[in-house]
């Protein structure tokens, strides 16, 4: 009778577990390399939706329209300078011109943004806009959006395209805003007189006295979620504003406040005009990142790109890290990749890829900026407000090469931009269906290069693979050590050689051992006990983390109410010598977190000797789940998080293992190299632990002049993340924080 055949899959599994450390390291390294290789894997963009047909029609926007735009820009500026309230001047100007076109127009007052952290809403709704309270009052001066609608002559009117030009009046309009308004009006007139429109065009002149986002979000909210049951009292303190808004009744019986709609919004374009930042050529910068890394359909960016580059000869840019492009090490890497590409091309012609070092570095810088923008979870402009209603929108920042020099230069510039915007509008107008053909999940590594979800999932997959592998290895190891320590205590008469058994067979061996020796059952029980304790530890830390994540609104309200009391008694409390209010809030929050952590830890069961293995296995499991869930909410957060969290949690092991006498001597593997290895891991752990991370963050984002300033900076960041509903906030507090606390727990056990 031959030996029992070894089954393939269990054998492979056992091999995997046996070499899990090496495999983990290889996987992690491969993940890192893949992240760095992403620019080389990027594909060129292409127009996926045939109906868009960019550039198929010749734009009619010409020098005459551009001259009109400049004339109207001057007109609005002179009106603003004359009028006491510049915003009303802009409103009057816009209403006059739009009515002359017999286009629909109206004004939409909106309340200022509500105070951050004044409510517990986090995921429920975009909360950047204030809502009227039940009695219809609010604080602050309301902003007023001006909206005009060109009705497409022969269309059904159930689809629309939105054009947004934010403006701000500070005594006068800035050159960019002034030109943007004139430019918008020229386009509006062009569309008002055209007969090719199939979708209505809505032009929103967003009053960005608070921010462009607030204005656009307020308008979109009224468009999609109007409240009929709230009496609207806009509390304009200024009587002239009141008079203009309410008495400005138009001839056909409507008031200027009559909100009008134009059907489903197909796309949104937010236009900014700025003078150049030292660039030579006229260029156009596209920002597309919405809340939590949501991107508009890639086709929209493609259309802008193809029209700007191929039709108008404009340079197109996306956000990038400029200083990264000078980095010497990245340049070496780029040259190395270039060599590899050439070499591969020599071996087989179709393997080769042309990627010059400068292209690679540029791609990497852009990619990292893209990842950063997505990971922060804050929209990069007013277009983010559209994404909350599943509307594809981008911000186009049109930058003049020079400084808006002469009128001729302006005309030349506006002609180019006008033809571009008209072309984009024609493309979107051609669209029969909504945007659905191209990608929604992608990263940009250049304006015309993208990395789709199928590619960028690979590095995350490689990184995440290591965690369950490590957990499984630890799990089998913990059972093994339990059995081993137990059987060592037993008589040697037992012939079962536990160690020679492959890990895959461990469970059966344990059961066998248990059957044979009643004492082994006790061992299994102690092992189970360590798992129970580990579960308690992990859940307590998780619970603490989720509680801590919900503290900020309470802390904020608490401090505010205390301050209110003190301000009533007109006596500043002693603490205010040390803290600013945000700093105090941050300090309170940190104190509450630490105190509650210490309280909770004091209730933990006393750890056993080998408990850390079970805790680490659970930690790895929790980290996998956390990162996996985060990747669904915001991929970039998950990718960046995995780069830090994976080595941290994999390398966690008790400090005693490094110097002290090893607990499991039978392993005999306490070589210098092993200890060095452990030391390295511990270093990684220390670097990744919250205090170090905080300190480094303080160094980078806070001004390092004083720790109080940094504290307030931290609080401001927390407020920001909370109010935008960024996925980074739950990641840091619910995934990263408990995991690093557990790492410290392991280090100290």
Name the minimum Å distance from CB 105 to another protein.
Answer: 13
- Which residues have CB under 8 Å from 357's CB, separation 6+? 331, 334, 335, 337, 338
Nearer to another protein, 453 or 748 (CB): 453
Q: What share of the chain is helix, strand, coil (3-state, %, to 5)?
A: 60, 10, 30
Q: Does 154 bind another protein (CB under 8 A)?
A: yes
Q: How far is the CB of 249 from another protein (least distance, A)?
A: 7
- Options 73-81, 224-232, 410-418, 647-655: segment touching another protein (CB under 8 A): 224-232
Closest CA to 287 of 200, 376, 350: 376
Rule CB under 8 A: is residue 121 a binding residue for another protein? Answer: no
454 touches another protein by CB under 8 A:
no
Interface with another protein, residue 253, by CB under 8 A? yes
Site membership for another protein, residue 390 (CB under 8 A): yes
Which residue in the set 83, 115, 121, 260 belongs to the binding site for another protein (CB under 8 A)? Answer: 260
φ, ψ at 267 (rounded to 5°): -160, 160
Among 8, 22, 247, 251, binds another protein (CB under 8 A): 251
Which member of 3, 84, 134, 231 binds another protein (CB under 8 A)?
231
Instruction: Determine if 602 is a binding residue for another protein (CB under 8 A).
Output: no
Q: Does 153 bind another protein (CB under 8 A)?
A: yes
665 binds another protein (CB under 8 A): no
Single out the segment in contact with another protein by CB under 8 A; choices: 220-228, 234-242, 488-496, 509-517: 220-228
Phi first, then psi, for residue 248 (nearest 5°) are -75, 55
- Residue 547 belongs to what H/E stretch? helix 518-549
> CB under 8 A: which stretch of 146-154, 177-185, 309-317, 620-628 binds another protein?
146-154
Among 74, 75, 85, 258, binds another protein (CB under 8 A): 258
Please identify which residue in 64, 96, 232, 505 interacts with another protein, judged by CB under 8 A.
232
Nearer to another protein, 153 or 405 (CB): 153
- Least distance from C-beta 213 to another protein, angstroms? 17
Q: Which strand (E) or helix (H) includes residue 92?
A: helix 86-100
Please identify which residue in 55, 112, 140, 157 interacts with another protein, judged by CB under 8 A: 157
252 binds another protein, rule: CB under 8 A: yes
Site string for another protein, 170-209 (x = CB under 8 A): -------------------------x--------------
**Closer of 10 and 153 to another protein (Cβ):** 153
Residue 179: CB atoms within 10 A of its CB come to 28
748 burial type by CB count under 10 A (0-12 exposed, 13-18 middle, 19+ buried): exposed
Q: DSSP for 614-672? A: HHHHHHHHHHHHHHHHHHHH-HHHHHHHHHHHHHHHHH---GGGTSS--S-GGG----H
C-beta separation of 627 from 645 below 8 A: yes
Question: Rounded distance, CA 737 to CA 635, Å?
Answer: 19
Q: Which is nearer to another protein, 225 or 519 (CB)?
A: 225
Binding window for another protein (CB under 8 A); candidates: 256-264, 275-283, 307-315, 316-324? 256-264
Q: Do 123 and 102 touch, CB atoms closer than 8 A?
A: no
Per CB under 8 A, 249 contacts another protein: yes
Beta strands 169-170 and 283-287, pairing class: unpaired
Q: Shortest distance, CB of residue 97 to another protein, whole angstroms?
A: 12
Q: Which strand (E) or helix (H) includes residue 166?
A: strand 159-167
**Footprint of another protein on 350-389 (CB under 8 A):** 388-389
Q: Contact between 4 and another protein (CB under 8 A)?
A: no
Cβ contacts of 502 within 8 Å, gap of 6 or more: 11, 14, 18
How near is the Cβ of 268 to another protein at its closest, in Å? 13
Q: Which of 155, 562, 697, 698 binds another protein (CB under 8 A)?
A: 155
Find the binder of another protein among 261, 285, 480, 533 (CB under 8 A): 261
Q: Which one among 115, 131, 151, 372 touches another protein, defined by CB under 8 A?
A: 151
Partners of 170 in beta bridges: 172
Q: Do 70 and 410 form a contact (C-beta atoms < 8 A)?
A: yes
By beta-carbon proximity to another protein, the closer residue of 254 and 403 is: 254
Between 102 and 706, CB nearer to another protein: 102
Contact by Cβ (8 Å): 173, 77: yes
Residue 267 or 361: which CB sits closer to another protein?
267
Q: Is 432 in the site for another protein (CB under 8 A)?
A: yes
Decide: is 264 part of the binding site for another protein (CB under 8 A).
yes
Alpha helix segments (H runs only) across 292-406: 298-306, 328-347, 357-376, 384-387
Query: Applying CB under 8 A, which of residues 115, 121, 372, 434 lies at the interface with another protein?
Result: 434
Tell me the window of 10-18, 261-269, 331-339, 692-700 that interacts with another protein (CB under 8 A): 261-269
Taking the complex as a whole, how short is the minimal distance between the CB of residue 736 and another protein, in angstroms? 30
- Beta carbon of residue 148, minimum distance to another protein (angstroms, whole number): 15
Q: What angle do the packed helices 63-82 and 407-430 form, to 10 degrees?
A: 110
Cα torsion 732, 737, 743, 747: sign: positive
Pick 300 or 735: Cβ nearer another protein:
300
Asked whether position 345 contacts another protein by CB under 8 A, the answer is no
Dmax over CA atoms of the chain, in Å, equals 106
457 Cα distance to chain centroid: 16
Size of the site for another protein (CB under 8 A): 36
**Torsion sign across C-alpha atoms 703, 709, 714, 717:** negative
Q: Which is nearer to another protein, 231 or 518 (CB)?
A: 231
Name which position in 254, 326, 515, 519 contacts another protein (CB under 8 A): 254
- Does residue 424 contact residue 314 with C-beta atoms inside 8 Å? no
Question: Each residue of 687-698: b (16+ CB within 10 Å) or e?
Answer: ebbbeebeeeeb
| Helices and strands (H, E) in the chain, number of each type | 24, 13
State which residue, 428 or 444, has the beta carbon closest to another protein. 428
- Beta bridge partners, 442, equal 452
**What is the crossing angle of helices 690-700 and 737-748, to 10°?**
130
If the CB atoms of residues 96 and 666 are measured against another protein, the closer one turns out to be: 96
Note the residues at the interface with another protein (CB under 8 A).
2, 102, 151, 153-159, 195, 224-226, 228-232, 249, 251-254, 258, 260-261, 263-264, 388-390, 432-434, 436
């Amino acid at each position: 009778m031959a030996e029992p055949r070894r089954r393939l899959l269990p054998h492979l599994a056992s091999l995997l577990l046996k070499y899990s450390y090496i495999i983990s390291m290889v996987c992690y390294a491969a993940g890192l390399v893949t992240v760095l290789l992403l620019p080389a894997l990027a594909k060129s963009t292409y127009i996926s939706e045939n109906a868009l047909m960019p550039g198929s029609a010749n734009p009619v926007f010409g020098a005459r329209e551009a001259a009109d735009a400049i004339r109207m820009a001057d007109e609005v500026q002179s009106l603003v300078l004359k009028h006491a309230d510049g915003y009303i001047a802009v409103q009057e100007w816009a209403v006059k011109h739009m009515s002359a076109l017999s286009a629909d127009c109206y004004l939409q007052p909106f309340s200022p943004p509500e105070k951050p952290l004044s409510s517990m809403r986090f995921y429920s709704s975009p909360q950047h806009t204030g809502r009227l309270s039940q009695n219809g009052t609010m604080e602050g001066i309301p902003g007023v959006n001006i909206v005009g609608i060109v009705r497409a002559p022969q269309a059904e009117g159930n689809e629309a395209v939105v054009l947004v030009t934010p403006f701000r009046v500070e005594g006068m309009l800035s050159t960019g805003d002034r030109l943007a308004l004139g430019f918008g009006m020229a386009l509006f007139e062009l569309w008002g007189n055209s007969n090719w429109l199939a979708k209505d065009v809505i032009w929103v002149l967003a009053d960005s006295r608070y921010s462009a986002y607030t204005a656009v979000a307020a308008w979109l909210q009224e468009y999609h979620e109007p409240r009929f049951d709230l009496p609207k009292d806009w509390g304009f303190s200024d009587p002239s504003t009141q008079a203009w808004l309410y008495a400005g009744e138009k001839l056909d019986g409507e008031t200027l406040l009559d909100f009008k709609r134009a059907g489903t919004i197909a796309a949104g374009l937010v236009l900014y005009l700025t003078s150049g930042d030292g660039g030579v050529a006229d260029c156009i910068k596209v920002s597309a990142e919405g809340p939590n890394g949501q991107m508009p359909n890639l086709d929209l960016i493609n259309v802008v790109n193809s029209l700007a580059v191929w039709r108008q000869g404009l340079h197109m840019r996306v956000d990038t890290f400029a200083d990264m492009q000078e980095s010497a090490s990245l340049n070496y890497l780029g040259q190395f990749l270039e060599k590899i590409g050439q070499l591969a091309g020599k071996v087989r012609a179709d393997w080769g890829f042309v990627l010059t070092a400068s292209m690679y570095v540029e791609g990497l810088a852009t990619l990292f900026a893209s990842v950063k923008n997505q990971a922060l979870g804050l929209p990069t402009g007013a277009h983010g407000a559209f994404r909350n209603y599943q509307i594809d929108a981008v911000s186009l920042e049109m930058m003049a090469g020079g400084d808006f020099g002469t009128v001729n230069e302006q005309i030349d510039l506006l002609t180019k931009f006008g033809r571009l915007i008209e072309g984009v509008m024609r493309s979107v107008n051609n669209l029969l269906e909504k945007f659905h053909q191209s990608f929604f999940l992608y990263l940009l590594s250049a304006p015309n290069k993208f990395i789709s979800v199928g590619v960028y999932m690979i590095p995350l997959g490689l990184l995440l693979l290591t965690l369950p592998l490590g957990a499984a290895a630890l799990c089998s190891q913990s059972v093994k050590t339990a059995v081993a320590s137990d059987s060592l205590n037993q008589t040697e008469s037992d012939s079962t050689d536990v160690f020679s058994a492959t890990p895959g067979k461990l469970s059966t061996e344990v059961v066998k051992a248990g059957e044979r020796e009643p004492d082994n059952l006790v061992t299994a029980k102690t092992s189970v006990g360590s798992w129970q304790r580990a579960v308690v530890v992990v859940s307590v830390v998780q619970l603490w983390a989720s509680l801590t994540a919900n503290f900020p609104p309470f802390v904020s309200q608490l401090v505010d109410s205390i301050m209110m009391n003190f301000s009533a008694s007109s006596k500043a409390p002693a603490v205010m010598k040390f803290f600013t209010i945000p700093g105090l809030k941050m300090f309170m929050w940190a104190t509450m977190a630490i105190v509650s952590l210490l309280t909770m830890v004091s209730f933990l069961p006393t750890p056993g000797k080998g408990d850390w293995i079970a805790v680490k296995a659970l930690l790895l499991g929790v980290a996998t789940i956390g990162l996996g869930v985060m990747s669904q909410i915001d991929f970039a957060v998950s990718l960046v998080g995995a780069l830090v969290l994976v080595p941290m949690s994999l390398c966690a092991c008790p400090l005693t293992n490094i110097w002290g006498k090893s607990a499991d001597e039978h392993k005999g593997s306490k070589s210098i190299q092993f200890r060095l290895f452990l030391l390295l891991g511990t270093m990684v752990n220390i670097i990744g632990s919250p205090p170090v991370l905080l300190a480094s963050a303080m160094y980078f984002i806070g001004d390092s002049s004083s720790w109080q300033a940094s504290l307030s900076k931290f609080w401001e960041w927390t407020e920001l993340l909370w109010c935008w509903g960024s996925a980074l906030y739950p990641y840091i507090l619910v995934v990263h924080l408990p995991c690093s606390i557990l790492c410290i727990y392991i280090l100290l056990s």
